[in-house]
Amino acid sequence: MAELTHLDPEGRPQMVDVSAKAVTRRMAVAAGYLELDAPAAEALSRGGGPKGDPWSVARIGAVGGVKRTSDLIPLAHPLAIEAVEVAHHWDPATRRAWLRVSVSCEGRTGIEMEALAGVTVGLLVLYDMLKAVSHGMAVGPARLLRKEGGRRGTVTLPWEGCPWAP
């Protein structure tokens, strides 16, 4: 069984020492969705609500979430992010507004938390953009789809129903 790396021998939280790890290319892709009720779905289908275009603001929010991950997650290392790609997909049949965030850098530690933070913050921004119309929305789930680099190499995690392949 794998051990939790963020605990010291006494069980107290600690930031992992990554100084001995090799610098490698790191990449992670995460996705998630916001489930909308009928009024919010109608507003999104029309291109937005009283606050304007929700997709463009959600995409910017996702980038901000990636960049602020180490401020949000106490034991996450600050990373020099080199690229962030954000994609969105609207599925009117299921009333799910999907976001996908891909992040990459050269570093000593994984970048999965940045991808997940980007998706989650982007979905929260989408909620904020649509809440003037309705609060009948649910955030999540958000999941890691793919990671590359580091000790484990490439890991892919298929998600049935997700509009993107890992």
Would you name the residues annotated as active-site residues? 128
Q: Is 12 exposed, middle or buried (0-12, 13-18, 19+ CB in 10 A)?
A: exposed
Candidates 114, 126, 115; CA nearest to 54 is 126
Max Cα separation, the chain?
55
| CB contact at 8 A, 140 and 156 | no
Helical segments of the chain, H only = 38-46, 54-67, 69-72, 112-130
The tokens of 136 are what? Answer: 């009948």
Exposed/middle/buried for 134, CB within 10 Å: 0-12, 13-18, 19+?
middle
